[in-house]
């Protein structure tokens, strides 16, 4: 199966200051690329079963949750995905490591929505548009980025990757008014008019302007006064 133009987001969001490795076997972020129009049948994303999960890390702990998918479609020709786009609701972001009744939930939600992070007042949604794909070959590996070690070191790309990837997927992720192309391994299947895709990978939030607590600016990391730039994203998308 060939995918000609990435499966969507978040964004979550996505996304990747990345590891060493060959261009074909490394999760990476690059400049935006052209999005092709694709021909074939258009399938709608199942909003009830499609999710994007996010995890953010700091030495003293981590937070995680989901970003709702509010729309999206895939264009399929035979057993090929030829195009696709997805929209994610940043304002609808959920935090799942604490109850909404917890006073810190509101504080953290407000901070994530503020100009320190997503600036949701000006950029309430994130989008993802497929730009290309290549087969995940038998000898391919997912290279991992070296991280500063603490009790809450971010999960590695190789641990987030699905167990049996079929493709390297690439696409334009737009958050906070910035568009970058991201590439990651995904397990994709097309059966009986239904497309399903699972993926997990890291992004570097600062490449989309989410600069608060930038770890590269931490003078003394031993004081744990920073937030990891790495954000983990896990996608589970179904289109019918």
Cα separation values, 115 from 12, 123, 193, 196, Å: 16, 10, 41, 34
Average pLDDT for the chain: 86
- 8 is a domain residue: no
- At 80 the pLDDT is 74
- At 75 the pLDDT is 84
Tokens 């590891």 belong to 19
- Centre a 10 Å sphere on the Cβ of residue 52 and count the other Cβ atoms it contains: 27
CATH number (domain holding residue 135)? 2.40.128.110
The total domain count for the chain is 1
- 15 is a domain residue: no
CA distance 104 to 80: 46
Query: 95-128, pLDDT tens digit by residue?
Result: 999 999 999 999 999 999 999 999 999 999 999 9
CA distance 171 to 132: 7
- 63 is a domain residue: yes
CA distance 93 to 19: 28
Percent of the chain scoring above 70 in pLDDT: 88
Average pLDDT over residues 79-92: 88
- 181 is a domain residue: yes
Average pLDDT over residues 175-181: 97
- 141 is a domain residue: yes
- 10 is a domain residue: no
Query: 186-219, pLDDT tens digit by residue?
Result: 998 988 889 999 999 999 999 999 999 999 988 8
Cβ-in-10-Å burial (0-12, 13-18, 19+) of 163 comes to: exposed
- 145 is a domain residue: yes
Indicate the pLDDT class of residue 224, thresholds 50, 70 and 90. confident
Query: 60-74, pLDDT tens digit by residue?
Result: 999 999 999 999 998
Q: Taking 80 as the threshold, does the pLDDT of residue 138 lie above it?
A: yes
- At 20 the pLDDT is 32
- At 9 the pLDDT is 32
Query: 7-56, pLDDT tens digit by residue?
Result: 333 333 333 323 333 444 568 889 999 987 778 889 999 999 999 999 99
- 143 is a domain residue: yes
Task: Tell me the residue range of the domain where 44 lies.
Answer: 23-239
Indicate the pLDDT class of residue 175, thresholds 50, 70 and 90. very high
Q: Which residue has the higher pLDDT, 224 or 201?
A: 201
- Centre a 10 Å sphere on the Cβ of residue 104 and count the other Cβ atoms it contains: 11
Q: pTM value?
A: 0.86
């Amino acid at each position: 199966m060939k995918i000609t133009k990435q499966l969507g987001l978040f964004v979550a969001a996505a996304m990747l200051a990345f590891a060493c490795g060959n261009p074909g076997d490394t999760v990476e972020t690059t400049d935006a690329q052209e999005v092709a129009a694709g021909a074939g049948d258009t399938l709608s994303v199942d909003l009830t079963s499609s999710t994007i999960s996010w995890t953010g890390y700091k030495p003293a702990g981590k937070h995680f949750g989901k970003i709702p998918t509010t729309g999206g479609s895939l264009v399929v020709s035979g057993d090929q995905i030829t195009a696709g786009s997805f929209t994610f609701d940043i304002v609808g972001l959920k935090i799942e490591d604490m109850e909404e009744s917890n006073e810190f939930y509101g504080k953290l939600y407000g901070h994530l929505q503020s100009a320190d992070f997503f600036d949701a007042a000006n950029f309430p949604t994130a989008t993802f548009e497929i730009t290309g794909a290549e087969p995940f070959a038998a000898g391919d590996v997912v290279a991992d980025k070296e991280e500063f070690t603490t009790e809450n070191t971010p999960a590695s790309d190789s641990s987030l990757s699905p167990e049996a990837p079929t493709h390297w997927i690439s696409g334009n992720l737009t958050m906070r008014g910035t568009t970058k192309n991201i590439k990651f391994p995904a397990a994709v299947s097309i059966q009986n008019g239904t497309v399903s895709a699972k993926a997990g990978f890291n992004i570097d939030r600062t490449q989309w302007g989410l600069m608060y607590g930038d770890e590269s600016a931490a003078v003394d990391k031993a004081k744990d006064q920073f937030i990891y730039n790495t954000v983990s994203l896990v996608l589970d998308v179904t289109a019918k």
